[in-house]
Structure 1
Amino acid sequence: MTDPDPDRTAGRPDDRAGPVSAWHRLAADAVLLDGFHALKHAVRFGAEVRVALTADRGAALALADELAGDVREELAALLTEVSHDTYASLVPRPHPTAVAALAVRPSRAGNLERLAHSPRTAPVVVLDNPRNLGNAGAVIRLAAGFGATGVVTTGTLDPWHPTVVRGGAGLHFATAVERTAVGELPPGPVFALDPEGEDIRSLKLPDDALLAFGSERSGLSPELRARADHLVALPMRPQVSSYNLATSVAMTLFHWSAAGGAPHAS
C-alpha cells in the first residue's frame, strides 16, 4: 500500500530508534547543527548531514516551504520526528525551531587547500586570538554572506565549537573555517586592523588580502603585527574606544566589496 503522505515516513514511531541511536553514536565527533536555519544552510552548501531530528516535523517543513524551497525535498528526506523530551535530551540548549542535526566536519586538508589556492578572488578573514565564541560565529556568518574565501583563527578558540557554529547559523559550510598558527597563515598581503593604521577609506583592499582583526581587549598579537604588511584603521569618533569585532569585520568586508568584490552565486 502506498504511503498517503511520504513526508511523514521518517517520522513514524518504528523508525525513530535508528536515528536516535545514530545520534548517540555520532555526536562526539560530528558538527552539531542547532536549529532549522543551521540545518538549512548546511544542506544548501553541501554538508554531509548524518542524522536530523525534530520535535515538530510539520512545523519544520512549513519553515522549509516558506524559507528554503530550494532544499525542501532534501530536508524532508532527512528529518525524523521524535518526542520533545527526546529532542531536548540530545542538545545542550533546545532551539525554538526544535530542529537539530549532526554533520561531518569538512576535512582540514581540503579547507587549507581552499585557503591557500591562488589566485584568490576574495579575502581571508583572520581572527587573531579571539575570545568570544558568539562573536566568532557572527564573523563566520558575515564572511559567508560577503563571499570571503574563509575565516582563520589563531590561538586557543576552536572555530568549530558548537556555540560558534550556532552563532554562524550553519554557514561554516559556505566558507573555509580553520585554526592555524600565525606562521601558518595562507599566503597573501596582511591588512591588519589597528587604531594607529592608515584610514581604510584611502585604501583599496585586494582580493587576495588577509584581513586580520585582534581581540577587542588586547588587539593584535606581536606575532600578527610583525606579519602585517599594512596597518589599517576604521573611521571612529574620538573617545570611542573600539567597535565590536563582528562590526569591524562587517565594515571592512563592505569596504572591500564596495570596490567591486560583490557576492556572486556559485
Structure 2
Amino acid sequence: MRDERPEGPRSAGAAEDAVRAWRRLADSAVLLDGFHALKHAVRFGADVPVALAVDRASALALADELAPDVVRDLAGLLVEVPGEVLRGLVPRLHPTGVAALAGRPARADNLAALGRQARTTPVVVLDNPRNLGNAGAVIRLAAGYGATGVVTTGDLDPWHPTVVRGGAGLHFATAVERLAVEELPSGPLYALDPEGADIRGLKLPDDALLAFGSERSGLSAELRARADQLVSLPMRPQVSSYNLATSVGMTLFHWSAHSTNAP
C-alpha cells in the first residue's frame, strides 16, 4: 500500500530554520522531552511550533505502532537534525531521540476551566509539593482520570521541564496552574490527612477539591483551615505514608468508583 503520509520538511535548510526557531522560542516555550510527551501534546491540541528528531523515519514508525491517530500531524511537524545538534539544545536527550517546544496554555483559559461552576470532575490540589517527578506523575494520573485540573501551591512550578517530563506531556490534557490557597477554586475541599475519616465511608462529590500535603510536612495550616473534610486512606499500622502519586491515584480511583462522570 502506498504511504500517503506527508513527507514534511527534511532538507538541510529546513533543519537550520527549525534550530533557529528553537533557539528563539526555547526560553518561553514548554519543553516536550521525548516522543510520548510530543504525542500527548499533539493529541490534546497543543500549539507545537517546532519538533525535532534525530531519526525522523524511526520516530514516525514508532507513531505508526503506538499512536496512529497522530501520525499525519507528526509527519508535518518533525524535522530531522543530527544527534549532536539536538543534544546541544536539550538538557538530556530522550532515548526516543525526539524533542519539541509547545506554547503554554493561556492562564486565563486554565483558570476559567478550574473555576467553572458545577464542575463534573474533581480538581487535585498539591499543597506545597517538593518533588518535581511526583508532581509530574500526579498530573499524568489526573489526566488519565479526566480530572478538571491540578493546582499546586507554594514555590514549585508545575510547568517545570522535569514536571512536564514526568507528566509525559499530559499537562495539555487538563488545566495545570499554581495558585495561593486563598485563590483556590470554589467547591468542597477534601484534604487527605491521617487524622481524617476513612475514605471508604465517603462519597467524594464530582466538584470536589482533593488536597494532598507535601511529601515532607503534610498539609499546611492554611490549607487545613480551608478544608471542609479531612480524609484518610487505609493503611497498615506502622507504615508511615504512601508516595504522593500513590495517594492521589487511590483517591481518584475511589472517586471514580462512585461517579458516573469518571472515564
Question: Normalization by structure 1: what TM-score?
Answer: 0.96
> Quick check: 1:18 aligned with 2:17?
yes
> Distance in 1 between the 2:178 and 2:8 partners?
40
Task: Return the letter of the residue paired with 1:85.
Answer: E
1:173-225 per-position Cα deviation (integer Å, ceiling 9, x unaligned): 00000000000000000000000000000000000000000012100000000
Shift of 1:82: 0.2
Q: Secondary structure at 1:90's aligned position in 2?
A: coil
Number of aligned positions between the proteins? 261
Q: Secondary structure at 2:49's aligned position in 1?
A: strand
1:27-52 per-position Cα deviation (integer Å, ceiling 9, x unaligned): 00000000000000000000000100
Is 2:8–2:75's contact at 8 Å kept on the other side of the alignment?
no
Is 1:122–1:261's contact at 8 Å kept on the other side of the alignment?
no
Shift of 1:71: 1.1
1:86-127 per-position Cα deviation (integer Å, ceiling 9, x unaligned): 011110011000000000000111100000001100000000
Shift of 1:247: 0.1
Is 1:146–1:262's contact at 8 Å kept on the other side of the alignment?
no
1:10-61 per-position Cα deviation (integer Å, ceiling 9, x unaligned): 1222211110000000000000000000000000000000100000101100
Is 2:8–2:77's contact at 8 Å kept on the other side of the alignment?
no
Shift of 1:260: 2.3
> Distance in 2 between the 1:78 and 1:138 partners?
27
Q: Where in structure 2 are the equivalents of 1:128-147 lying within 5 Å?
A: 128-147=127-146
Is 1:143–1:175's contact at 8 Å kept on the other side of the alignment?
yes
- Over 3 Å off, 4+ runs: 4-9, 261-264
Is 1:120–1:149's contact at 8 Å kept on the other side of the alignment?
yes
Kindly report the root-mean-square deviation, in angstroms, between the aligned alpha carbons of the 2 structures: 1.2
> Quick check: 1:126 aligned with 2:150?
no
* Aligned sequence identity (%): 73
Q: Where in structure 2 are the equivalents of 1:239-250 lying within 5 Å?
A: 239-250=238-249
> Distance in 2 between the 1:5 and 1:99 partners?
22
> Distance in 2 between the 1:114 and 1:53 partners?
31
Question: Normalization by structure 2: what TM-score?
Answer: 0.97
> Distance in 1 between the 2:234 and 2:63 partners?
41
Q: Where in structure 2 are the equivalents of 1:223-262 lying within 5 Å?
A: 223-261=222-260
- Residue in structure 2 matched with residue 194 of structure 1 by the alignment: 193
Is 1:54–1:80's contact at 8 Å kept on the other side of the alignment?
yes
Q: Where in structure 2 are the equivalents of 1:91-170 lying within 5 Å?
A: 91-170=90-169
Structure 2: where are the runs of 5+ without partners? none
Q: Where in structure 2 are the equivalents of 1:195-214 lying within 5 Å?
A: 195-214=194-213
> Distance in 2 between the 1:107 and 1:157 partners?
19
> Distance in 1 between the 2:261 and 2:53 partners?
36
> Distance in 2 between the 1:65 and 1:213 partners?
38
- Residue in structure 2 matched with residue 60 of structure 1 by the alignment: 59
Task: Return the letter of the residue paired with 2:10.
Answer: G
Task: Return the letter of the residue paired with 1:66.
Answer: E
> Distance in 1 between the 2:5 and 2:246 partners?
45
> Distance in 1 between the 2:118 and 2:169 partners?
27
